[in-house]
Amino acid sequence: MKLPLVFYGDPGLRQQAEPVTVFDDKLLALSRDMVETMHAEAGIGLAGPQIGVPRRIFVMEIPPEMDEDETGARLNPDLNGPLVVVNPELLELSKNKEEMEEGCLSIPDIRGKVRRPVSVTLRFQDVEGRQREMRLQDLAARCAQHETDHLDGILFVDLLSQVKRVAIKGKLRKLKEQTLQS
Ligand SMILES: [Zn+2]
């Protein structure tokens, strides 16, 4: 089932999400709905707070063609299909950082460059509660950071340059008004 999205201006996007402690059929069903919603919205990641669920869970899926180096080799060969990430921790963030344009399903029509570490280790639990760890590169690493930020009430627009933040101020204010009216 596709779930309705929560948009910029909704206070739920600014909350600290709570850890997941129960790994049951309800969590499995939620993760499936989140994947379906991510696909329907053509996103590469979706976090709990974006569908009004204040829990530490996100889903991500990087299309293979967006996960290749210059030679066409996969950057993250372990990533196949959608990944369900519960209670994530980001470790060993690389000193090497890169700036890249980001967007967010909760902040339509706004994009901007964010500087982030190029690689990270993602430690998390899968939907059955098993501990897992993955080293991620490039877009996958960026996506995992963007989604983990959602669980801490942080949005990519907070991380833009001062100049860019001033430039989009009006758009954000309009979006917030729309959200609060709906
Ligand atoms: Zn987002």
- Residue 147: active-site member: yes
Query: In Å, how far are 57, 132, 148 from 124, measured between CA atoms?
Result: 10, 5, 11
C-alpha 43 – ligand 1 centre gap (Å): 9
Distance CA 156, CA 101 (A): 10
Q: Hey, what domains does the chain have and what are their CATH numbers?
A: 11-181 (3.90.45.10)
Average pLDDT over the chain reads 97
Asked whether the predicted pLDDT for residue 16 surpasses 90, the reply is: yes
Residue 72: other Cβ atoms inside 10 A = 7
C-alpha 8 – ligand 1 centre gap (Å): 10
C-alpha 46 – ligand 1 centre gap (Å): 7
| pTM, full prediction | 0.97
> Which of 99, 128, 147, 177 is the catalytic position?
147
- The pLDDT value recorded for residue 1 is 95
Q: How confident is the model at residue 182 (pLDDT cuts 50, 70, 90)?
A: confident
Distance CA 178, CA 61 (A): 29
C-alpha 11 – ligand 1 centre gap (Å): 15
Q: How confident is the model at residue 113 (pLDDT cuts 50, 70, 90)?
A: very high
Using only C-alpha atoms, what is the Rg of the chain? 16
C-alpha 145 – ligand 1 centre gap (Å): 10
